[in-house]
A and B are shown apart, each in its own frame.
Chain A
C-alpha cells in the first residue's frame, strides 16, 4: 500500500548512544517532516525538507540532524541520545499544498 513507512517501530537506547530513524514514502511527495509527540504538548516540528538535498530546522531541532539524499527518504539522526529525547517520533510527507500530511505510524524511542 502506498504511504509513509517508518523504521524501526520501537527502540531503547542508552544515554550517549546514537541511532538513525528512517522514513520512506512512495507517493513522490516533495515535502517531508519529522515531528516528536510528547504528552500534553501535541506534535512539535524537529526538521523538515522541501526537496531532495534540502533540510531546514523546525521548532525543536537541537540534538537532531537530518538528511534527504533521495527524494523518497528522510533520515533523522540522534548523535548522542539523552533521556529528554524519549518520545514518539512521527514522519510525514506532503505534496503540492494544501493537501495535508500523510503520516507514518511512528517510532517509540526510549532513552535510559
Chain B
C-alpha cells in the first residue's frame, strides 16, 4: 500500500518570493506521482505529474517538481509566487502497475501568498 506525507500543513510566503512544498511517499512498488491544486470552494485540478524519465517535471502556472527516488520525495517548487497561487496543494501517488489510477492523496499544504 502507498502513503503520502506532506510535511508542512501551512506555508506562508511573500509575493514574488520562491516557495517549496514538500512531499514524501511510501510504496513497495513503482509509482506515478501527482500534484493537484484546489482553489477555495472548487474541485481539484491537476498541476503536474511524474510518470517516468526526466526527474524534473514542469506543470501549469510556472510550477515544477523534482522526483527523487532515493529519498522517496516529490517536492513542488515555484521561483516566484503570485497572489493567485494562494490555494491548497495536494501531493498524490498511484501504483504504476495497475491499469487504472487509484490515487492516494496526502493531507494537503495550504499556501498563503502575502502581498
Given known contacts A40-B107, A42-B106, A43-B90, A101 and B9 CB-to-CB distance under 8 angstroms: no
Is B105 a contact partner of A42 (Cβ separation < 8 A)? yes
Is A97 a contact partner of B101 (Cβ separation < 8 A)? yes
Is A101 a contact partner of B101 (Cβ separation < 8 A)? yes
Tell me, yes or no, whether A34 is within 8 Å of chain B by CB.
no
Q: Which residues of A contact B34 (CB under 8 A)?
A: 100
Minimum C-beta distance from A44 to chain B (A): 8
> Size of chain B's interface in residues, with CB distance under 8 A?
25
Q: How many inter-chain residue pairs (CB < 8 Å) link A and B? A: 63
Given known contacts A40-B9, A90-B43, A106-B43, A100 and B101 CB-to-CB distance under 8 angstroms: yes
Is B90 a contact partner of A42 (Cβ separation < 8 A)? yes
Is B107 a contact partner of A100 (Cβ separation < 8 A)? no
> Size of chain A's interface in residues, with CB distance under 8 A?
27
Is A105 a contact partner of B102 (Cβ separation < 8 A)? no
Tell me, yes or no, whether B57 is within 8 Å of chain A by CB.
no
B87-109 residues at the A interface, CB under 8 angstroms: 90, 94, 96, 99-108
Is B99 a contact partner of A97 (Cβ separation < 8 A)? yes
Measured CB to CB, the nearest residue on chain B to A106 is B43
Bound form: Cα–Cα A94–B101 in Å: 7
Measured CB to CB, the nearest residue on chain A to B42 is A105
Is A98 a contact partner of B44 (Cβ separation < 8 A)? no
B1-26 residues at the A interface, CB under 8 angstroms: 4, 9
Which of B4, B44, B102, B108 is in CB contact (< 8 Å) with A45? B102
Binding site for B on A (CB under 8 A): 4, 30-31, 33, 35, 40-45, 48, 50, 58-59, 90, 92, 94, 97-101, 103-106
Binding site for A on B (CB under 8 A): 4, 9, 32, 34, 36, 42-46, 49, 51, 90, 94, 96, 99-108
